[in-house]
Amino acid sequence: MADYDYDVLIIGSGPGGYVAAIRAAQLGLKTACVEGRETLGGTCLNVGCIPSKAMLHASEYFDAAANGAMAKMGVIVTPKLDLPAMHAQRLDAVKQLTGGIEFLFKKNKVDWLKGYAAFESADTVSVAGKSYRAKNIVVATGSNVTPLPGVTIDQNVVVDSTGALELAKVPKKMVVIGGGVIGLELGSVWRRLGAEVTVVEFLDSLLPGMDMDVRKEAAKIFKKQGMTLKLGTKVTGVAVKGAKATLTLEPAAGGASETLEADCVLVSIGRRPNTDGLALDKAGLAVNARGQIEVDHDLKTAVPGVWAIGDVVPGPMLAHKAEDEGIAVAENIAGQTGIINHAVIPGVVYTWPEIAGVGLTEDQAKERGEIKVGKFPMMANSRAKTNHEPDGFVKIISDAKTDRVLGVWAIASVAGTMIAEACVAMEFGATSEDIAYTCHAHPTHSEAIKEAAMAVTGKPIHI
């Protein structure tokens, strides 16, 4: 150690950085984590996964009371919205969870260096005017909102995801630019609380990257819930006057433009890696064309001793992917074999119903060879039917010759929980027959996964 301050210094305390820090300390390495925010936990805990789920969960209750779903089950209530209380429970969840990371840092003897880090050389960073030298440096600086050229986010009329979590009143007309995960989750929150929501999406389908059946079914469900979808349409301008915005929309394929009025505009067209201010060049590092830091399978960058994980490196921008990379990088640094299987990373959209998937889409699988597909509707699942949750399906894609499962896609009230079974199965190289012959508890939504697996060979019981 002699003249090193730390064995490992991690820049950023999101789910990538804080998990890496805790695992490194558990492995006996002297560890520091640099974070410039007031609280630990990164985007995910402060302004991402956690606060959005707090608003989604609370607004789901409101919607169930307001839209007649509760009345259908004999519970008659007229909901009254206390938005400040809804925001307070969101802030409480954030406070408790970010405080929990601070507790875990103390427990594991991880030093929190407060401030923003910049490289001075490949093994030294400066933080709040002090230099720290470390044998290993892990860049886990995450991502931030991609701006829409010419559109200013004022967090009042035109907001990003952070602003959309905190709206002080329910907008009358909300326009969401981008029909991806953030647009649909936060659009759902405000639609449930009473806003008229229009989603403008450049592509012909919502949710790029997901299976096409899922994308089409999701559009039908969101329309049925009252969202207006303008697909194949791009926003070319947003003019704000007082408390109103006027958006200019153009068909993506070209043609006449139209305008749309809104009192709230959410810009959710993607996220980009955080590398500004890091002085990567002083470490001898550069970013790729997408602004990401390239890493090899072991999460090593091109510079020895410098590693990178999470949203700042290529791959899906997801908290659990960042966490798994955090564990793997710490284990690799400690001389162990860190394991992460990038082919089995689930994606979940926490709308109602939830939308989840893992592995290849049907189109991707077809490109690689012959496949078999089994599908089972939630309408025929006894638990979903009993709970008045008829929308959605489970779809399993397997290799036609070996029957090995290549991808699983689901729209169901608890699809995000159900998909874990598919991940375990795929991690163990399961065939659809393995899933079909595994006993699933009755009555559960998960039985739909078993039935979809049975449908791969054409023999489900309940359809």
The residues carrying an active-site annotation are 442
What CA–CA distance (Å, rounded) separates 245 from 107? Answer: 49
What CA–CA distance (Å, rounded) separates 185 from 348? Answer: 11
Residues lying near ligand FAD in the complex (CB under 6 A) are found at 11-17, 34-37, 42-44, 48-49, 52, 116-117, 140-143, 161, 182, 274, 277-278, 310-311, 317-320, 322, 350
Chain centre to alpha carbon of residue 440 = 28
Decide: residue 129, CB within 10 A, 0-12 exposed, 13-18 middle, 19+ buried.
exposed
In this chain, which of 185, 403, 421, 451 binds ligand NAD, going by CB under 6 A? 185
Q: Determine the interface stretch with ligand NAD among 97-105, 173-181, 214-222, 293-301 (rule: CB under 6 A).
A: 173-181
Which residues inside 271-290 make contact with ligand NAD, applying CB under 6 A? 271
Which ranges in 315-414 belong to alpha helices (H)?
Answer: 319-333, 362-368, 382-386
Residue 328 CB, nearest approach to ligand FAD (Å): 13
What CA–CA distance (Å, rounded) separates 416 from 432? Answer: 20
| Coil/strand/helix, residue 241 | strand
| Coil/strand/helix, residue 310 | helix
**Angle at which helices 319-333 and 15-26 pack, to 10 degrees?**
30
Q: Does an H or E element contain 9, and which? A: strand 6-11
Report the residue number, 189 or 436, with the smaller CB distance to ligand FAD: 189
Report the residue number, 64 or 125, with the smaller CB distance to ligand FAD: 125
In this chain, which of 41, 42, 51, 180 binds ligand NAD, going by CB under 6 A? 180
Residue 410: closest CA among 348, 344, 343, 365 = 348
Q: Is the peptide bond before 353 cis (omega within 30 degrees of 0)?
A: yes
**234, interface contact from ligand NAD, ligand FAD, none, CB < 5-8 Å by kind:** ligand NAD
DSSP 218: H
**148, interface contact from ligand NAD, ligand FAD, none, CB < 5-8 Å by kind:** ligand NAD
Which residues inside 147-166 make contact with ligand NAD, applying CB under 6 A? 148
Report the residue number, 115 or 304, with the smaller CB distance to ligand FAD: 115
Report the amino acid identity of residue 176: V
Q: Determine the interface stretch with ligand NAD among 63-71, 72-80, 269-277, 442-450 (rule: CB under 6 A).
A: 269-277
In this chain, which of 7, 60, 111, 201 binds ligand NAD, going by CB under 6 A? 201
Which residues inside 70-129 make contact with ligand NAD, applying CB under 6 A? none
- The DSSP bridge partners found for residue 306 are 137
Residue 353 CB, nearest approach to ligand FAD (Å): 15
Q: Which residues bind ligand NAD (CB under 6 A)?
A: 148, 177-183, 185, 200-203, 208, 234-235, 268-271, 316-318, 348-350
